[in-house]
Structure 1
Amino acid sequence: MSKPISELRKGMSKERLERIAKKTEALKKEMALQELRQALNMTQAELAEKLHVNQAAVSKYENQSDLYISTLRRILSSMGGELRITAHFAEGDVVINQFHDANLEPA
């Protein structure tokens, strides 16, 4: 018989619970577009309507590994988000502001 997660957690050490919490936070910060859309309880059809494209186009976007920055910006904006591009270096992070112009090539 399956047990509720609360019961499983009771038997875990504090260290293990902390590791799980850290891993959970890391996973929340990394999502594919499809996972993000689903987490927002949005269907492909709903997103397509907001983007003024058909559902097949949304499916294509979600399965592409290489999107225009402008397309990604439009998708995220339609989901209620904002695209920020950050370069990570050993010395620190740098926000790339070259792509703030909303008039980039459309989706």
Structure 2
Amino acid sequence: MARKFSELTAKMSPEARARADVMTKAMLAEMPLHELRQARGLTQRMLAEVLHVEQPSIAKMEKRTDMYMSTLRGFVQAMGGDLVVTAKFPDGDVRISNFSEI
């Protein structure tokens, strides 16, 4: 018999809930574009309308492993976000500003 998620989490120890929260945050912090779109509650058709392209174009963009920064920025902005390019180094992170005014 299926059980409600809330029932399962209620039975978890505080340590197990904390571990689950950490894992959830890590999973949400990094995801492919199609998962990000779905997490934002958008369909490919909805995004296509905002970007003034056809739905198959969105499907192609989501599968690409290489695209222009301006294309990616438009995709992210159409979902209501802002694209930030950051270089990560052992001694700290640096935000790259070259792409902020494209």
Q: TM-score, normalised to structure 2's length?
A: 0.91
**Residue 98 of structure 2 aligns with which residue?**
98
- Give 1:48 deviation, angstroms: 0.9
Aligned residues: 102
Q: Tell me whether 17-26 or 37-46 shows the greater mean CA deviation.
A: 37-46
Equivalent in the alignment of 2:19: 19
Shift of 1:6: 2.1
Q: Percent identity, aligned pairs only?
A: 46
Letter in 2 for 1:16: A
CA distance in 1, matches of 2:52, 2:12: 49
- Give runs of aligned pairs for residues 1-107 of structure 1, distance below 5 A: 1-102=1-102
User: Please, which runs of 5 or more residues in structure 1 have no aligned partner?
Assistant: 103-107
Q: State the shift of 1:10 in Å.
A: 3.0
AA matched with 1:90: P
Q: Distance in 2 between matches of 1:54 and 1:27?
A: 30
The structure showing larger relative contact order (alpha-carbon pairs under 8 Å, at least 6 residues apart) is 1
* Moved segments of 4+, more than 4 Å: none
After superposition, the CA RMSD in angstroms is 1.2
Give 1:9 deviation, angstroms: 1.9
- Structure 2 residue runs of 5 or longer lacking an equivalent are none
